[in-house]
Amino acid sequence: MELLMAILIGFLFASATYLLLSKSILRMIIGTGLLSHGAHLLILTMGGLKKGAVPIVNGDGTPVTDPLPQALILTAIVISFGVTALFLVLAYRGYQELGTDNMDELRGTDGNE
Amino acid sequence: MEMNNLVVLPIFVPLLTAVILMFISKKINIQRWISVGASLVTVMIAGLLVHHVSTDGIQTLDIGSWPAPFGITLVSDMLSSLLVLTTSIIGFAVILYSIYSIGEGREKHFYYPIVQFLIVGVNGAFTTGDIFNLFVFFEVMLMASYVLLVLGGTKIQLRETIKYLTVNVISSSLFVIAVAYLYSIVGTLNMAHISQRIGLLEEIPGILTVIAILFLIVFGLKGAIFPLYFWLPGSYYAPPVPVMTLLGALLTKVGIYSIARTYSLFFYHDQSYTHDLLLVLAVVTVLIGVVGSIAYWDIKKIIIYNIITAIGVILYGISVATTTSMTGSVYYLIHDMIIKAALFLLIGIIVNITGTSNLKKFHGLINDYPVLAWVYFIAAISLAGIPPFSGFVGKWLVIQGGMERGELIGSVIILLTSLLVLYSVMKIFIYGFWGGKDQDYPDQHSISYNKLLIPAILLTVIAVLYGFGSEFVYSYVAQAVDTLMNPEIYIEAVLKE
Amino acid sequence: MRSGDLILQTMSKVVFFIIILFSIHLFFEGHYRPGGGFVGGLMTSGAIILLLLAYDIKTVKKIIPFDFKWLIAVGLFISVVTAGGSLLFNVPFFTHVHDYFNIPLLGKTSLHTAALFDLGVFFVVVGVTLTIIQTIGESE
């Protein structure tokens, strides 16, 4: 199972890198989304994919799943939700003001003379 | 050591203030004075915290009463409390400056709450003792910085924010990845506990070096070290001066603080690869910064590139990792935060008067604005580290530490580049302030000119006192370095063993 | 954004309330089982976005006559004050308390200060999501 997860995470990272290298801002946003999905799965895998019960300790010694990775992922999801939303609004506003979503045309030189 | 809620107050007060300010976003005057008042309160609390740490040792707070290492623990050691104090002072000065310069448009669109959120993030990042919580505070800080950067919505701001945001989103993902790998080895997130668990490993696994480099990339992107500084000159150039001051003085320093913290707490066992790499990067960073600051004729760019130089100097001290060099780094870190903020504010006043940041387009300012000229002069020689001004002690100790370790080339380079730093800031003085007055500047700014000077003078005076009182400051800095050099102190204070 | 689709409008009048009820269920469920303020808030904003799709922004503004940014502030205020309340009792920041109460109809129920914090999260999520949708949607 760990191997499968590793391949999946690698695939997500690869796709994310490909998308991030493209020039369209919209593709880049999707890329950042995939990147954070990969990172979340990585936390889950690194925490150990155990087959335990829900993490409420009964005191009878039954194995429980490590609750921490889940808490981390939830936090990370909330944060990436916020950042992605902001990025979308920014890209949209940028498109309105600058008239392009092509990163090539966003090369700025003013202030660099 | 019992629990101490004082630790959380430098985070809680700005947070509560930000929320209250959000309710009254249309009442600008009330917003202004609540902001000023609250940041003054934050400064006082931070001062009290420094005092507590100096008398009673490291202060900790287990959030939500969950004992360490299971819950999130906030840890104020001397380094973090000093940085929190510095941050709060800069926040206060910048808010004071903003009142007369940021403009009503931004003030109505949540400028003041977001500045408070930024301070929440920065103070939180300095205070937290949990590696994932550090990520969360990083995000709070970054989110605030995105909004501050784009607030106003001019074309150049939108363009630069898109780039800045992309870089930081990627670096945040890398942060999560690095934390995941670290968790797979040590199975904990509490920084003291991580340090303890790594210390218990019989053999340091190779992946720890990989994690160290991942963290270096993440924090290096924030701290703008070579070769990850590429986004900084463009992004920091775009926003108005108060925002530029906040980002320039605070954000890069959070990156550097995080490198110092993780490298002294986690990655100090096998220094051969990581610290040598850091050393080379630090020297190249200094060179890049100096070349940039000499080459440009734009006063904003000159100071922006000086940020990169300073980052290199601080990093050099951290990479040498002796008590002397670390003391130098801590001295220089605090000095640089204050003096950079002062210089940015002064540059802002110049731009406000002349209407341009191009050094070739104005001269002779000293005739009409003598106070500005001499305050700038003092700030400039403080930055360059002319004894007995504030940059001197830090840089001297960093170089001395490097010499003691036998790192001759790096130390000599840093020594020589000091002269070039001096040249880069004196260039502004010579070309901008000296010379005959041959043009009249529109007088409409003269009302706010004196008021804008107040926060800049405040910061410059603090920097000068910091330099002249370095004997007094030394006992505090020594305590901070003691914790950095001896992780056991930190571990004991947090885990209470 | 203007949609005159009669089927969508009629459907959303019914579905809206079902989604809202389910989101409230999710919110309270979150205490011991999967759910909570974040998911509940997202679900509620989903319901409101459905209305936006079926009608238009003006109609929705008539139904919900306040600024969504204000909702963010209210949510943050609830959360921050809940967390900061612990300072008054001289216990560590964020310390929560809970107790069991006998409430008519519901029976023995545990009430928890963490739920108040979650309520704040709920408002923040609704506020943020709708502010974003509004920012993009309004300018068309």
Mutation test of the interface with chain A: which of C49, C135, C140, choosing the one with the most A Cβ atoms within 10 A?
Answer: C135
pLDDT of residue B353: 86
From chain B, pick out residues whose CB is under 8 angstroms from the CB of C73: 19, 22-23
Q: Which residues of C touch A (CB under 8 A)?
A: 38, 128-129, 132, 135-136, 139
Q: Cα angle vertex B173, ends B171, B179, to 5°? A: 105
Chain A: partners with 3+ C-beta pairs within 8 Å: B, C
Q: Is residue C140's pLDDT more than 70?
A: no
pTM of the model: 0.94
Q: Cα angle vertex B87, ends B81, B88, to 5°? A: 90
pLDDT of residue B425: 92
Q: What mean pLDDT, rounded, does chain B reach?
A: 91
**Strand, helix or coil for residue C110:** strand
Three-state secondary structure of A50-97: CCCECCCCCCCCCCECCHHHHHHHHHHHHHHHHHHHHHHHHHHHHHHH
Residue B108 binned pLDDT confidence (cut-offs 50, 70, 90) = confident
The model's pLDDT over B397-420, given as tens digits with 9 standing for 90+, comes to 999 999 998 888 999 999 999 999
Please compute the mean of the pLDDT values over residues B188-214 and round it to a whole number.
90
Cβ of A11 under 8 Å from any chain C Cβ? Answer: no
Residue A56, min C-alpha distance to chain C (Å): 10
Residue A105 binned pLDDT confidence (cut-offs 50, 70, 90) = confident
Contacts of C20 (CB under 8 A, 6+ apart): C44, C47
Share of chain B above pLDDT 70, in %: 97
Identity of the residue numbered B101: S
What does the alpha-carbon distance between residue A8 and residue A1 come to, in Å, rounded to a whole number? 11
Contact A98 B136 (CB under 8 A): no
From chain C, pick out residues whose CB is under 8 angstroms from the CB of A89: 132, 135-136
The model's pLDDT over B377-391, given as tens digits with 9 standing for 90+, comes to 999 999 988 888 888
pLDDT of residue A66: 78
The model's pLDDT over C6-35, given as tens digits with 9 standing for 90+, comes to 888 899 889 999 999 999 999 988 777 778
For residue B388, count other CB atoms closer than 10 A to its CB.
Answer: 12
Q: Is residue A110's pLDDT more than 70?
A: no
From chain B, pick out residues whose CB is under 8 angstroms from the CB of C83: 12
List Cα–Cα distances, C121 to A68, C69, C72, in angstroms. 20, 14, 9
pLDDT of residue A53: 66
pLDDT of residue B440: 65
Alpha carbon B389 to its chain's center: 19
Share of chain C above pLDDT 70, in %: 95
- Pairing of β C107-112 and β C98-103: antiparallel
List Cα–Cα distances, B222 to B128, B216, C127, in angstroms. 17, 10, 29
Please compute the mean of the pLDDT values over residues B146-153 and round it to a whole number.
91
pLDDT of residue A113: 40
Q: Write down the residue that tokens 């002779």 correspond to.
A: B364
Residue B1 binned pLDDT confidence (cut-offs 50, 70, 90) = very low
What does the alpha-carbon distance between residue B265 and residue B270 come to, in Å, rounded to a whole number? 12
Q: Is C105 left (phi over 0), alpha (psi -120 to 50) or beta?
A: left
Mutation test of the interface with chain A: which of C38, C126, C138, choosing the one with the most A Cβ atoms within 10 A?
Answer: C38
From chain A, pick out residues whose CB is under 8 angstroms from the CB of C136: 88-89, 92
pLDDT of residue B435: 77
pLDDT of residue A35: 95
The model's pLDDT over A79-95, given as tens digits with 9 standing for 90+, comes to 998 999 899 999 988 88
Q: Is residue C90's pLDDT more than 60?
A: yes
The model's pLDDT over C67-85, given as tens digits with 9 standing for 90+, comes to 888 899 999 999 999 988 8
**Strand, helix or coil for residue C112:** strand
Residue A86, min C-alpha distance to chain B (Å): 9
pLDDT of residue C124: 93
The model's pLDDT over B28-87, given as tens digits with 9 standing for 90+, comes to 999 999 999 999 999 999 999 999 999 999 999 998 888 888 889 999 999 999 999 999
- Using alpha carbons only, how large is chain C's radius of gyration in Å? 18
Q: At what angle do helices A25-46 and A2-20 cross, to 10 degrees?
A: 160
**Strand, helix or coil for residue B144:** helix
Q: What share of chain A is helix, strand, coil (3-state, %, to 5)?
A: 70, 5, 30
pLDDT of residue A111: 47
Please compute the mean of the pLDDT values over residues B185-190 and round it to a whole number.
90
The model's pLDDT over A24-54, given as tens digits with 9 standing for 90+, comes to 999 999 999 999 999 999 998 887 776 666 6
Kindly write down the DSSP assignment for every residue of B224-271, as one continuous string.
Answer: T-TTS-TTHHHHHHSS-HHHHHHIIIIIHHHHHHHHHHHHHHTS-S-H
pLDDT of residue C139: 60
Cβ of B143 under 8 Å from any chain C Cβ? Answer: no
List Cα–Cα distances, B106 to B27, B368, B449, B451, in angstroms. 12, 30, 20, 19
pLDDT of residue C54: 87
Q: Write down the residue that tokens 């704040």 correspond to.
A: C120
**Strand, helix or coil for residue B59:** strand
What does the alpha-carbon distance between residue A20 and residue B395 come to, in Å, rounded to a whole number? 40
Residue B212 binned pLDDT confidence (cut-offs 50, 70, 90) = very high
